[in-house]
Amino acid sequence: MHITLKETAAKMLEAENLVITTHVNPDGDALGSSLALYHMLVRLGKNVEVLVDDDIPESFGFLPDIEAIQKPEKESYPADYLIMLDVSKDRIGQVLNKCQAPIINIDHHRTNDGEADFLYLDAEKAATAEIIYQLAQELTVTPDSAVALCIYTGLSTDTGNFRFSNTSAFTLRAAADMVEAGAQPHVVSEALEKRSFKEVLDRAKAMETIEMAMEGRVAGIFIDNVLYETLDTTEGFIDGVRIIDGVDVAVLMKEVEPGKCRVSMRSKGVDVSVIATEFGGGGHVRAAGCTIEEPLVEAKTKLLEVISRHI
């Protein structure tokens, strides 16, 4: 059931106990949006838990109260509502089974499956953080420095630090408002750009797997499970192929378990959300992802076959 942002806020205001969650393999928008909403609801006197069924990248340790995010280790989490941000039901892992509450879903992905009890979807927004920025007004909460930093992080990361084509005038106005409220852009950029010496070496190893296809219009990093198990992170790896001259579709495929590959795609023209949807994934026109339950070689072959039909 689609609802307005005002109706979304009303449901949160009437509730006492709320659980917030987002997708596995969380990014800056997922984490920033979740923590921004957490801070706002706590200020309104709500009992709030934030659950993510995955590890949190250390690079996001600068986010205020990042330790509030827990894995769903208890048997159950009673709540008036389960609030899903930046995600559909199929990508929140164990949280879906452990919190049997009506679902409020806030998202900006046009591939959202629409299966939540209550859905607010705005596919015109560059990030879910833009919606949380608007939601603050409906909740009559003035963002403090903590909320501002979290929202700014979501805005920045989902727009490639305001470099991607999804960056709008609205995005920049929201970012400016968050800076005025106390967000410090250099804190975000320095934290997310910082890499350990091992991570730099890891990226060099991953870059050795680059393959070009379709006369240079597609480039991919293909990491098998043996290599994947030696890496601390793959954050930002896809940017190393996205910038190659002539490349339209950039791919990062990593075999996270034997026979299971996670895929991220970035595009300058091709609608990669359509490609991801064919494998049960989703996302945006220019950025999308999916999981392919195949070994690396087979998964790569199937993915490139689908890309070739759309490029």
Q: What is the CATH number of the domain that holds 208?
A: 3.10.310.30
Which string of DSSP letters, residue by residue, matches 113-155? ---SSEEEE-TTSS-HHHHHHHHHHHTT----HHHHHHHHHHH
pLDDT tens track for 257-297: 999 999 999 999 999 999 999 998 888 888 899 999 999 99
Per-residue b or e along 259-292, where b marks 16 or more CB atoms closer than 10 Å to that residue's CB: ebbbbbbbbeebebbbbbbebebbbbbbbbbbbb
**Do 43 and 121 fall within a single domain?**
yes
pTM exceeding 0.85: yes
Angle (deg, nearest 10), helices 169-180 and 145-158: 150
pLDDT of 205 over the 90 cut: yes
Q: What is the mean pLDDT of residues 228-255?
A: 94
**Do 249 and 158 fall within a single domain?**
no
Q: According to the model, what pLDDT value does residue 222 have?
A: 98
Cα–Cα distance between 180 and 76 in angstroms, integer?
A: 40
| The token pair that represents 205 in the structure block | 């190893």
**Do 188 and 205 fall within a single domain?**
no
Task: Tell me which residue of 31, 94, 26 sits closest to 55, measured CA to CA.
Answer: 26
Interstrand relation of 81-85 and 69-70 (parallel, antiparallel or unpaired): unpaired
Q: According to the model, what pLDDT value does residue 25 have?
A: 85
Domain boundary among 162, 192, 222: 192
pLDDT of 311 over the 90 cut: no
Domain boundary among 192, 210, 231: 192
pLDDT tens track for 116-160: 999 999 999 999 999 999 999 999 999 999 999 999 999 999 999
**Do 138 and 27 fall within a single domain?**
yes
Contact 132, 108 (CB under 8 A): no
Give the rounded percent of residues in the chain with a pLDDT score beyond 90.
88
pLDDT of 164 over the 90 cut: no
Q: According to the model, what pLDDT value does residue 265 have?
A: 96
| The token pair that represents 145 in the structure block | 């420095």
pLDDT tens track for 55-79: 998 899 999 999 999 999 999 999 9
- Read off the CATH number of the domain in which 131 is found: 3.90.1640.10
- Bridge partners (DSSP) of residue 266 are 250, 287
**Do 159 and 217 fall within a single domain?**
no
**Do 185 and 210 fall within a single domain?**
no
- Bridge partners (DSSP) of residue 106 are 85, 120
Range of the domain at 140: 5-192
**Do 179 and 264 fall within a single domain?**
no
Q: How many domains would you assign to the chain?
A: 2
**Do 54 and 110 fall within a single domain?**
yes
**Do 260 and 278 fall within a single domain?**
yes
**Do 82 and 210 fall within a single domain?**
no
Domain boundary among 157, 192, 227: 192
Q: According to the model, what pLDDT value does residue 231 have?
A: 95
**Do 71 and 161 fall within a single domain?**
yes
**Do 137 and 153 fall within a single domain?**
yes
Q: According to the model, what pLDDT value does residue 165 have?
A: 87
Q: What is the mean pLDDT of residues 16-35?
A: 96
pLDDT of 212 over the 90 cut: yes
